Structure 1
Amino acid sequence: MLRRVHIRGFKTAIDAVLDLGRLNVFVGPNGAGKSNLLEAIAVLGCAASGRVDYDAFRARGIRPGKPGLLKTALSSEKRAARTILLEAVSDSTRYQVVLGDSALGRGASTGSAAWRFDKETFSEGEQEVGSRSKGEGYLVHADGARQAITARLDRGIAPLVGTTRGEGEMSSLLRALEEFAIYAPLPPMLRAQIPDPAQKQPVGLMGGGLAEALLELKQAGAKNAALLRRIEQELKELGGWVERVSFEPESGYPGVPTGAGRSLDPHLGLRLQDRYLRSEVGWLSAVEANEGTLHVLFLLTMLYHPTTPQVLAIDNVDQSLNPQLARYLLARVQALVLAEPKRPQLLVTTHNPLALDALDLKDDRVRLFIVSRDKRTGATSVERMHHTDALERAKEHNMTLSRLWLSGALGGMPGV
């Protein structure tokens, strides 16, 4: 589990620290920097995999951009940032990386060149177990032996450190970072009308392959089939009209190009049974189902599927959802990630005030972050909203978190 992330010099984040819990919710105005914070963690994941370039960005949901814009370039600063510092901390391990310009130099093409690794450090407890500065470094093996290494400027040494240390907290931290991605599902991908440009396990970053992910559960033994039944039950309770989920090969269905999913033509189609319709016409395809139900099904799949990353982000978790449904869904997500250790650590953004009313801030594993930009400098600031007696008293007077946020009392509202 990620305990802390330090971001310095990335986009609008001059210097930001995130102390994370199991469920982390980010709110704030459009353009405040919420997605920037998630992308900084994803860049750290690229570094943990050993290479930072635009192919790695696309695979993790990072918006492409010129290096000059990825590094802090606020006019309020005396000079543009020369490097980006990123750091992740788990219970007793720490990984820090400093990234510079392209390893091929500032004039290199931004389309394919890998970024330069200026520095990396790896620590377990008080002991540094790996380090590199530019091209030279060392590793400390599990038996304490120290090994000097030569490192390429465009390659990180995290994969070497993970191999050297073997299974343990360091490899677990690096693996969580490497798997981290930002998901933002869209209806055409959820419906398999358009191929997902970033297909991952269990589901693509934009929701592609949802039917395949669910079918994998059905076919992968009794334990996973039971997970599918849990998803169906959750969907039934949250969606109201869905009775069962099924699958069938489809070809030539209106609005669905053949071969649009992971499979070859005919591609796999998702079907949802509407309990209120006659049995002979009661099954709806993903094309016919409403967007909100598909979005709920996507989120439930990500929560329950055994191949879901240990840590992940979902941008605009309330997308396509009725405000009250968004609240109920986030409450259910909260209950699952707190009660069941196998569920992923989540970072989500939302613009739905009612979603905040689902949060139990008395539980320290639930964190609400208010994100805003300084009106003078334009820098992104992040403030964790702690539970206080004042919040409890406000609640007694029907001033819920949603009302407090809309009133401007919590901050993180646009100045319009």
Structure 2
Amino acid sequence: MNPDDPSLPPQSGKTHYAISAICLNTIRKYGQSDWEIAVENFRKFNSQQTAAKEVDAILRNLEIQGFKSIANDHIELGRVNVFIGANGSGKTNILEAIALAGAARANDLNYESFYSRGVRVARPDQIISSFVDSSQGNSIDLKLNFLEKNEKFIYEFTLTPAHMQDVYTRWIDLSEEEMMPEILLQHFKEITQKTPNISGNELLSRANDLLAQRGLNKSRRYDPILTEYAIFDINTKSLRGIAPSESKKSPLGINGEGLDLFIASLNKEEKTILNRSKFLFDWLDDIISDKEDKLKLSGLKAGKSISTLYFRDLYMNSKNNTLSAENSNEGILHILFYIALFLSDKTPKLFAIDNIETALNPLLCQTLIEQIVSLSEDNGKQVLITTHNPAILDGLNLFDDEQRLFEVFRDDSGHTCTRRIKFKSDLSDKQGLKLSDMWMSGLLGAVPKNF
């Protein structure tokens, strides 16, 4: 729990350090007869949490009902997923639906939590689907199916706001509310079988401990994947360290914050992988992390940036060839941020990137996707990407089932729909064109139809 505000859950956007409830409850048992049992339970819980971080699961199926422009949609995902479509088709809504599920699993369904995960927050009556041809419901239904080898696990959520007209209102997961009595009865039965003569107050206390450990779901194995999910929509000012940090996410903020400190913290192997990306910039000689910010005293930055990241230009005179993040090319900052997201186990296993092409040359976009595909497989990452740049598509190999391309469009009723784009194995339907050419010519769909 947050020591400054115990009412906040540990995953709250306002929580930067926390003591888990089970840790606190274990400490409270010190000196009591069941101290050793409490310690053993804590060790078991801690080992389960450690194991959860090592899970290599894929979010395979996503079902969304009643969220923004998505009335009812079902998407089968791969490891690298790219969504294309006209402006306003609902691409980002798909990314946001997963963020809501993550907030629900973290028991943190409020404005701050949504915002910190990258959701564009509005009044509930604008978040819950509203169409002219049907009456508006009062909830959002989400279903996520994770697959790890041959093991499947399903999360289901029914989210409803406490107040329909209040943008800052707390949301409630009705699916967990419905499960509470049954789960409590299971905990009571388990406790009384082990301790038949337990008092009523102690029974409630231990049942509460079990809820803190296990939550309402029987398994929390995939919780870290879901609760750490975020939508990264980065901007150059945040990458340069100029814009004030608004993101609560760490180590990398959803707008690009923290890149310099993150690169400085990479281990030797991770830095080696990062340095391989230098081939993408023919002018780049070296990437420098000035942890103590000594180069600032040399006048290498104007003082507006807090970033300690520098770059050495291969073609400039060695006396003045070191450029600060404030003065460097924005493309390299974007590329390094994306590479960093995929190479470290400190970043989420599942995340989204909105408008990945920002500030990047078209050919660089293609090569970036090729790098992302390789890194995601090597490091157990899964990503959902939106783009408006056709060159992104040329980095995909759609004959690899883990690389998937989706058209996002709105039907005649305005409902967001997705369609996976696939080709015949003999390429007879590809007509010798690159994916970028096919998109621009309208063969893939995902283009405006009103002009």
- The structural deviation recorded for 1:333 is 1.0
Within the candidate set 7, 10, 16, 2:73 is matched to: 16
Matched residue SS, 2:395: coil
Within the candidate set 316, 336, 345, 1:277 is matched to: 316
- The structural deviation recorded for 1:158 is 9.2
Q: Which amino acid aligns with 2:336?
A: L
Asked if 1:138 corresponds to 2:178, the answer is no
Q: Superposed, which structure 2 residues align to 1:207-226 within 5 Å? A: 207-217=256-266, 224-226=267-269
Matched residue SS, 1:377: coil
Q: Structure 1 or 2: larger strand share? A: 1
Counterpart Cα distance in 2 of 1:171 and 1:119: 16
Matched residue SS, 1:172: coil
Q: Which amino acid aligns with 1:82?
A: N
- The structural deviation recorded for 1:114 is 1.0
Q: Which amino acid aligns with 1:75?
A: V
- The structural deviation recorded for 1:135 is 6.0
- The structural deviation recorded for 1:211 is 0.3
Counterpart Cα distance in 2 of 1:316 and 1:140: 47
Asked if 1:183 corresponds to 2:240, the answer is no
Report percent identity of matched pairs: 31
- The structural deviation recorded for 1:200 is 2.0
Matched residue SS, 1:90: strand
Matched residue SS, 1:245: strand
Asked if 1:384 corresponds to 2:434, the answer is no
Q: Which residue of 2 aligns with 1:401?
A: 435
Counterpart Cα distance in 2 of 1:177 and 1:206: 19
Q: Which residue of 2 aligns with 1:89?
A: 145
Counterpart Cα distance in 2 of 1:365 and 1:139: 40
> After superposition, what is the alpha-carbon deviation per residue over 1:218-270, rounded to whole angstroms, capped at 9, x for unaligned?
xxxxxx22211221121x1112221211122137865543xx6xxxxxx4411
Q: Which residue of 2 aligns with 1:246?
A: 288
Q: Superposed, which structure 2 residues align to 1:12-411 within 5 Å? A: 12-76=69-133, 78-91=134-147, 92-102=152-162, 105-106=163-164, 109-111=166-168, 113-120=169-176, 132-133=177-178, 136-138=181-183, 145=190, 161=214, 165=218, 170-217=219-266, 224-234=267-277, 236-248=278-290, 249=293, 250=296, 256-257=303-304, 267-338=306-377, 340=378, 342-374=379-411, 376-389=412-425, 392-395=427-430, 397-411=431-445
CA 53–160 in structure 1, closer or farther in 2 if over 3 Å, else same: farther
| Structure label with greater radius of gyration | 2
Report the number of matched residues. 368
- The structural deviation recorded for 1:406 is 1.2
TM-score by structure 2 length? 0.76
> Which runs of 5 or more structure 2 residues have no equivalent in the other structure?
1-57, 193-202, 205-209
CA 328–40 in structure 1, closer or farther in 2 if over 3 Å, else same: same
Counterpart Cα distance in 1 of 2:406 and 2:186: 38
Q: Which amino acid aligns with 1:101?
A: P
Q: Which residue of 2 aligns with 1:221?
A: none
Counterpart Cα distance in 2 of 1:88 and 1:197: 29
- The structural deviation recorded for 1:51 is 2.2
RMSD between aligned residues: 2.6
Q: Structure 1 or 2: larger helix share? A: 2
Contact 1:190–1:210 under 8 Å retained in 2: yes
Contact 2:288–2:311 under 8 Å retained in 1: yes
